A and B are shown apart, each in its own frame.
Chain A
Amino acid sequence: MNLETLIETLGLKCKCCWEKLKTTEVRGGYAGDLLSDVMANSSAGEIWITRQVHQNIVAVASLKDLAGIVIVQGASPEKDTIERASKEGVPIMVTDMAKFEVVGKVYRLLSEG
């Protein structure tokens, strides 16, 4: 499933890198707020669901070739985060939903194919 379909189906708001949504394939998901956990256990092509908003999340997503970052619970990414994401081409989405709800919806969507 491409990122654009996932965003539209779940009603997420895209904050960065619209141009990449159509061509980015989502191959799974990973949820976590500990950066070392995500570094170690996420896989390329997964969408990362987190409550962290500072710019170090962009480095993690970029280094692990993740599909993008969903920031949950109405939190706003810092200005530096968006700037760095634009530079590195890492899509960032936001939602008011809690992490549990986003994870459940993404999981169901990807399982149904």
Chain B
Amino acid sequence: MSDEDFPESLEGIYRIQGRDFVDAGIISSEVKKSLQGKGIPESIIRRIAVITFEAEINIISYAEQGTIQLFIEPDAIIIEANDIGPGIEDIDLALQEGYSTADDSIRELGFGAGMGLSNIKKFSDIFELTSDVGQGTRLKSIVKLNG
């Protein structure tokens, strides 16, 4: 992506390393902090916090590396999560609550319950998920500011 492709509404790009469970949640905290003090309702900020946290945990759990981008538009907040990783073979199946490919090391930490993607969908107004197996996954979540 070249520089001119970045829209003005881009608030931040955050890089995430796969398997780095120690730092899990730090990106979500940064996203939350950058939304505070801008007149955005707390309820919207908490929805974004859930979406970002789950997207962050997914990249850490499954991908080699990835980024989360935060856009603040006049009428919506947009979260985009892109990763380099194994991708998702069957997106419909991955979206089913309870379905997970997490291993025991992930489950021991209280993750991998198969709720991450369905949580993101539930807390988004618009949700898009695409993937190329063996290459990576792209997720876009839009939360509208006008309800």
Which residues of A are at the interface with B, using a C-beta cutoff of 8 A? 33-37, 39-40, 44, 52, 54-60, 62-65, 80, 88
Residue pairs across A and B with Cβ atoms less than 8 A apart, 17 shown, are A34-B115, A35-B109, A35-B110, A36-B115, A39-B50, A39-B54, A40-B50, A40-B122, A56-B21, A56-B25, A56-B111, A57-B110, A59-B24, A59-B28, A59-B29, A63-B49, A88-B29
Interface residues of B in 35-88 (CB under 8 A from A): 42, 46, 49-50, 53-54, 57
Instruction: Name the residue of chain A whose CB is nearest to the CB of B43.
Output: A44
Cross-chain contact A63 with B115 (CB below 8 angstroms): no
> Contacts A63-B46, A64-B49: A37 and B115 contacting too (C-beta < 8 A)?
yes
Residue-by-residue, is B23-35 near A (CB-CB < 8 Å gives 1, otherwise 0)? 0111011001000
Chain A residues positioned under 8 Å from B54 (CB to CB) = 36, 39
Cross-chain contact B25 with A60 (CB below 8 angstroms): yes
Sample of 20 further A-B pairs with CB below 8 A, known A59-B53, A64-B50: A33-B110, A35-B110, A36-B54, A36-B57, A36-B111, A36-B115, A37-B113, A39-B50, A39-B119, A40-B50, A40-B115, A40-B119, A56-B21, A56-B25, A56-B109, A60-B25, A60-B53, A63-B46, A80-B22, A88-B29
Decide yes or no whether B116 CB sits under 8 A from chain A: yes
The contact size tier of chain B is 20 to 34
Instruction: Name the residue of chain B whose CB is nearest to the CB of A64.
Output: B46
| Alpha-carbon distance between A73 and B111 when the two chains are bound, in angstroms | 20
Instruction: Name the residue of chain A whose CB is nearest to the CB of B50.
Output: A39
Q: Nearest Cβ distance between residue B53 and chain A, in whole angstroms?
A: 6
Cross-chain contact A63 with B116 (CB below 8 angstroms): no
| Alpha-carbon distance between A63 and B22 when the two chains are bound, in angstroms | 16
Q: Nearest Cβ distance between residue B124 and chain A, in whole angstroms?
A: 12
Chain A residues positioned under 8 Å from B123 (CB to CB) = 40
Cross-chain contact B46 with A36 (CB below 8 angstroms): no
| Alpha-carbon distance between A107 and B9 when the two chains are bound, in angstroms | 44
The 9 closest A-B CB pairs, nearest first, are A59-B25, A36-B115, A63-B49, A35-B110, A34-B113, A40-B119, A52-B110, A39-B50, A56-B24
